[in-house]
């Protein structure tokens, strides 16, 4: 669980005549992650695609284009469509789809033009002047626009070159200007338009008089609107025809896409091979437990006409070099390799033999005359191996980048920590049930693997939220759950008379707030410490003891050393007293664990360890030693667990306070009035707020009741959503920054085996 599944590099070598059979077999098995040949072997070339690959690719492009045109949704179509004649059916569908698409485009273009004309006609309708009166005069120049009518009138009346003028205005700032130039030649266009000069600097935006079919703007607007409705109706008709065609041909298109995608994969597979004139070499990665399965399938398909080699079982150092390489003949996988090598050559269809083809495998010869296989040199892909119940957490790990093959897989640790931290921060049975419900909906209904996995994360987070909610005795921030569970038969059964733990929001339970702060620091110490330990192990196996001690061991000593001193009784008077009280016994204790601090000698030993760690850090990291305070800060960052806990509890309390009202008793307890009946200040304490639901009788009471209900629904939905954002993001941040940062780089390659997971076809 803490390591990706071990991978083996395998090689398949054979004559060119069996390459198609090998491709078919490995594709159907969906097991071999192909390595790409880089052209570096003497005498070998990169393979060529199978003949006809370009034609298949072009047909695949056509199918995907038709799916886009018709809006085909993969989720709406069942699998198992049988294709009789792909080319003929594809041509028929393409003709019908293209015809509908062309009709839709024509209507959309015409509709766009009508919309444009309508957008320009409204000012002229407001003006109320026929289009033919706004231009075409022999003795007048005109201008129509939007602006200040008084400013336009003043500018035109005093303008040079204007003998007489008329300004007509309408609502919305529409202005029409009619002017008679002093020089008649202006109208002929031989001189400048006097209105152009007159209106310079005036608040006036000139409009172009639109082309018109009808002189009256109101009539034309009505006609355009009617035309627009007709076009929209035609567009709906085309859309309906497209929908009918989509429903009819979607199964075919998806099946065709799948079949063609498979053909393209198979046709282009040789691009990853190293080839000679008569032979090929294919390499790739297979999960080690399934190597035999791949070989058995190849033997069944082509018999002895290929040479199958497990070149190595990969365990890599940090710089990518094989640390544990096991040559094929030394790997015991249940059969005799020497017998395989000495078997009688089997004639190949081209007159060669499988053994002869196998000799095409390139080798690197050493000075003694021996040799070992030369591989294609890529690093193994990462296949995460986690139990089904923790698999959803892989989506959180991959969001920070997939682990490299050489790294630890932190998925299981995230499974153990993230839901618990989330549940601790929210801690409410009602919210927990809602998170589980939403998570289950995403997990069970979404076709997207990432969204489905997030649903699984939500279910686990909701489960622990509900568990902590029972322990806190809270249901939507109300505390009656504690009385029902812990002050009743269940409490008597387990020997508990009161709610076991509290969030610390109420004055009478404020010791819990500081208690959660201390426990949050303990959680941080363990979580970050585990990260440092994993980093130490990684360095130990990747770079040796010295690097592990100085690069990671130094931080272990620094962090545990400084915090051992902080929680020790050495110099106790200089430290906050709650560190030694909240987990001890007595009245000041929140959780009576009997922890009153570490002995003074442990604190002194912690200081010594801190000093040793600091010296080791200087030796190992040099100038990076200035970051020594990270040993303190990384753990302090976990105080956000307590902070989010109190913030969320405070928000829920405010929502309930405004709706129900509450009183504070002499003991420092809060009780909601509308729930528990604490309405008499003289009896129960001081009323903090009467609450909307206690507004009184009559209409005011009804309005208050309704307002209180709305506030409860909206308020708790807000707290519910904020819980995802605050607790979720803060929990993820602690995982990524404080935990992953100590041992994790990411950047691994996903295991992507050659093959295709069929959804819409059963066979080619």
Question: Cα torsion at 328, 329, 335, 340 (round to 10°)?
Answer: 100
Q: Is 361 among the domain residues?
A: yes
pLDDT higher for 105 or 190?
105
Based on the domain organization, do 566 and 625 belong to the same domain? yes
- Residue 290's pLDDT is what? 93
What is the band of 296 on the pLDDT scale with cuts at 50, 70, 90?
very high
Q: Is 551 among the domain residues?
A: yes
Quick check: 558 and 606 in contact, CB under 8 A?
A: no
Predicted confidence (pLDDT) at residue 684 exceeds the cutoff of 80: no
Tell me the two tokens of residue 236: 């709906």
Q: Is 706 among the domain residues?
A: yes
pLDDT tens digits for range 147-195: 888 888 888 887 878 888 888 888 778 888 888 888 766 665 455 678 8
Based on the domain organization, do 159 and 135 belong to the same domain? yes
What is the band of 354 on the pLDDT scale with cuts at 50, 70, 90?
very low
- Residue 433's pLDDT is what? 96
Predicted confidence (pLDDT) at residue 39 exceeds the cutoff of 90: no
Among residues 636, 662, 692, the one where a domain terminates is: 636
- Residue 548's pLDDT is what? 85
Q: Is 734 among the domain residues?
A: no
Quick check: 318 and 543 in contact, CB under 8 A?
A: yes
Predicted confidence (pLDDT) at residue 616 exceeds the cutoff of 60: yes
Q: Mean pLDDT over residues 697-706, rounded?
A: 83
Q: Mean pLDDT over residues 468-476, rounded?
A: 92
- Residue 334's pLDDT is what? 37
pLDDT tens digits for range 66-93: 989 988 877 655 666 777 788 898 999 9
| Helices assigned H by DSSP within 281-373 | 291-302, 337-342, 354-358
Q: Is 360 among the domain residues?
A: yes
- Residue 685's pLDDT is what? 67
Nearest one of 755, 537, 758 to 26, comparing CA atoms: 755
Based on the domain organization, do 101 and 127 belong to the same domain? no
Quick check: 251 and 760 in contact, CB under 8 A?
A: yes
DSSP 551: I
Based on the domain organization, do 193 and 310 belong to the same domain? no
Q: Is 383 among the domain residues?
A: no
Domain that holds residue 65: 61-112+229-259
At 325, which CATH number?
3.30.70.2170
Predicted confidence (pLDDT) at residue 573 exceeds the cutoff of 70: yes
- Residue 350's pLDDT is what? 41
Q: Mean pLDDT over residues 420-449, rounded?
A: 93
pLDDT tens digits for range 505-533: 888 888 899 999 999 999 999 999 999 99
- Residue 77's pLDDT is what? 59
pLDDT higher for 239 or 704?
239
Among residues 618, 636, 654, the one where a domain terminates is: 636
- Residue 332's pLDDT is what? 41
Q: Mean pLDDT over residues 651-664, rounded?
A: 88
Q: Mean pLDDT over residues 18-44, rounded?
A: 91
Among residues 569, 603, 636, the one where a domain terminates is: 636
The answer to which of 257-266, 544-553, 621-630 has the lowest mean pLDDT is 621-630
Based on the domain organization, do 591 and 523 belong to the same domain? yes
- Residue 367's pLDDT is what? 36
Which residues partner with 475 through β-bridges?
A: 478
Quick check: 534 and 596 in contact, CB under 8 A?
A: no
Which residues partner with 316 through β-bridges?
A: 322
Based on the domain organization, do 665 and 522 belong to the same domain? no
pLDDT higher for 427 or 624?
427
Q: 546-569 in b/e burial notation, b at 16+ Cβ within 10 A?
A: ebbbbbbbbbbbbbbbbbbbbbbb
Based on the domain organization, do 14 and 155 belong to the same domain? no
Greatest distance between any 2 Cα atoms in the chain: 114
Based on the domain organization, do 284 and 348 belong to the same domain? yes
Based on the domain organization, do 508 and 631 belong to the same domain? yes
pLDDT tens digits for range 155-165: 888 787 888 88
- Separation of CA 512 from chain center: 36
Quick check: 567 and 579 in contact, CB under 8 A?
A: yes
- Alpha-carbon span 536 to 543, nearest angstrom: 10
pLDDT tens digits for range 126-139: 888 888 888 888 78
Nearest one of 225, 247, 219, 286 to 30, comparing CA atoms: 286
Based on the domain organization, do 286 and 137 belong to the same domain? no
Predicted confidence (pLDDT) at residue 340 exceeds the cutoff of 60: no
Tally of domains within the chain = 5
pLDDT averaged over every residue in the chain: 84
- Residue 762's pLDDT is what? 66
Q: Mean pLDDT over residues 86-105, rounded?
A: 92
Tell me the two tokens of residue 415: 């499974």
**What are the two backbone dihedrals, phi and then psi, of residue 688, each rounded to the nearest 5 degrees?**
-80, -45
Q: Mean pLDDT over residues 434-455, rounded?
A: 92
Among the ranges 127-136, 615-624, 641-650, which has the highest mean pLDDT value?
641-650
What is the band of 397 on the pLDDT scale with cuts at 50, 70, 90?
very high
- Alpha-carbon span 76 to 79, nearest angstrom: 10
List, as own/partner pairs, every contact residues 67-75 make where C-beta atoms lie below 8 angstroms and the sequence separation is at least 24, other chains included: 67/253, 67/254, 67/257, 69/97, 69/98, 69/101, 70/97, 70/242, 70/245, 70/246, 70/249, 70/250, 70/253, 71/242, 71/246, 72/246, 72/250, 72/253, 72/254, 73/250, 74/254, 74/447, 74/759, 75/447
The answer to which of 334-348, 446-460, 605-619, 694-708 has the lowest mean pLDDT is 334-348
Based on the domain organization, do 599 and 573 belong to the same domain? yes
| Helices assigned H by DSSP within 4-85 | 19-29, 53-70
Q: Mean pLDDT over residues 413-436, rounded?
A: 95
Predicted confidence (pLDDT) at residue 346 exceeds the cutoff of 60: no
Q: Is 547 among the domain residues?
A: yes
pLDDT higher for 456 or 365?
456
Predicted confidence (pLDDT) at residue 755 exceeds the cutoff of 50: yes
Based on the domain organization, do 149 and 85 belong to the same domain? no
Q: Is 737 among the domain residues?
A: no
Q: Mean pLDDT over residues 739-762, rounded?
A: 85
Q: Mean pLDDT over residues 372-377, rounded?
A: 63
At 185, which CATH number?
3.30.70
């Amino acid at each position: 669980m803490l390591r990706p599944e071990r991978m083996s590099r395998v090689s398949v070598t054979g004559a060119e005549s069996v390459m198609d059979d090998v491709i078919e077999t490995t594709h159907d098995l969906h097991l071999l992650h192909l390595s790409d040949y880089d052209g570096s072997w003497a005498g070998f070339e990169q393979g060529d695609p199978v003949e006809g690959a370009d034609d298949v690719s072009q047909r695949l492009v056509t199918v995907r284009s038709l799916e886009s045109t018709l809006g085909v949704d993969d989720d709406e179509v069942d699998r198992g469509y049988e294709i009789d004649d792909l080319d003929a059916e594809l041509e028929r569908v393409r003709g019908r789809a293209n015809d509908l698409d062309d009709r839709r485009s024509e209507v959309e273009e015409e509709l766009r033009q009508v919309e444009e004309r309508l957008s320009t006609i409204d000012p002229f309708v407001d003006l109320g002047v026929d289009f033919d009166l706004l231009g075409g005069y022999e003795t007048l120049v005109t201008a129509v626009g939007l602006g200040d009518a008084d400013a336009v009138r003043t500018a035109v009346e005093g303008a040079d070159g204007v003998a007489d003028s008329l300004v007509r205005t309408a609502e919305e700032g529409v202005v029409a200007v009619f002017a008679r130039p002093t020089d008649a030649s202006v109208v002929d266009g031989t001189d400048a338009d006097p209105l152009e000069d007159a209106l310079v600097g005036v608040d006036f935006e000139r409009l172009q008089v639109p082309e018109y079919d009808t002189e009256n703007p109101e009539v034309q607007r009505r006609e355009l609107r009617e035309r627009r409705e007709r076009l929209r109706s035609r567009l709906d008709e085309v859309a309906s025809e497209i929908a009918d065609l989509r429903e009819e041909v979607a199964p075919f298109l998806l099946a065709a896409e799948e079949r063609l995608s498979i053909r393209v994969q198979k046709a282009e597979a040789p691009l990853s091979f190293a080839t000679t004139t008569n032979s090929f070499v294919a390499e790739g990665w297979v999960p080690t437990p399934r190597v035999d399965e791949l070989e058995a399938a190849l033997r069944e398909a082509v018999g002895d006409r290929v040479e199958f080699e497990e070149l190595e079982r990969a365990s890599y150092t940090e710089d990518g070099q094989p640390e544990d390489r096991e040559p094929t003949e030394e790997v015991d996988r249940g059969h005799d390799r020497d017998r395989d090598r000495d078997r009688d050559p089997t004639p190949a269809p081209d007159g060669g033999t499988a053994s002869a083809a196998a000799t095409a495998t390139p080798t690197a010869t050493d000075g003694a005359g021996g040799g070992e296989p030369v591989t294609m040199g890529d690093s193994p892909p990462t296949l995460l191996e986690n139990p089904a119940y923790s698999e959803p957490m892989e989506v959180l790990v991959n969001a920070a980048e997939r682990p490299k093959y050489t790294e630890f897989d932190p998925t299981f640790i995230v499974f153990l920590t993230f839901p618990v931290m989330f549940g601790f921060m929210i801690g409410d049975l009602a919210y927990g049930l809602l998170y589980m419900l939403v998570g289950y909906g995403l997990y069970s209904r979404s076709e997207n693997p990432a969204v489905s996995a997030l649903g699984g994360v939500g279910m686990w987070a909701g489960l622990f939220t509900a568990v902590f909610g029972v322990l806190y005795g809270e249901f939507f921030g109300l505390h009656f759950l504690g009385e029902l569970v812990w002050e009743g038969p269940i409490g008597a059964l387990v020997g508990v008379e009161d709610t076991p733990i509290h969030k610390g929001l109420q004055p009478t339970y404020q010791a819990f707030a500081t208690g959660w702060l201390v426990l949050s620091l303990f959680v941080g110490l363990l979580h970050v410490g585990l990260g440092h330990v994993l980093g130490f192990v990684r360095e130990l196996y990747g770079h040796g003891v010295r690097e592990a001690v100085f690069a990671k061991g130094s931080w272990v000593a620094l962090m545990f050393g400084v915090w051992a001193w902080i929680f020790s009784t050495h110099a106790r008077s200089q430290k906050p007293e709650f560190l030694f009280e909240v987990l001890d016994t007595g009245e000041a204790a929140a959780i009576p664990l009997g922890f009153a601090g570490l002995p003074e000698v442990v604190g002194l030993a912690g200081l010594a360890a801190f000093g040793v760690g600091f010296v080791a850090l200087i030796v190992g990291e040099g100038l990076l030693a200035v970051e020594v305070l990270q040993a303190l800060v990384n753990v302090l960052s976990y105080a956000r667990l307590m902070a989010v806990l109190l913030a969320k509890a405070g928000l829920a309390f405010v929502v309930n306070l405004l709706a129900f009202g509450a009183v504070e008793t002499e003991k420092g307890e809060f009780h909601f009035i509308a729930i528990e009946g604490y309405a008499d200040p003289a009896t129960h304490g001081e009323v903090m707020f009467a609450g909307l639901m206690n507004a009184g009788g009559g209409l005011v009471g009804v309005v208050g009741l309704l307002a209180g209900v709305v506030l409860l629904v909206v308020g708790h939905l807000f707290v519910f959503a904020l819980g995802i954002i605050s607790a979720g993001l803060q929990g993820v941040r602690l995982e990524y920054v404080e935990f992953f940062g100590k041992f994790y780089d990411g950047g691994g390659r996903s295991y992507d085996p050659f093959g295709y997971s069929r959804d819409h076809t059963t066979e080619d």
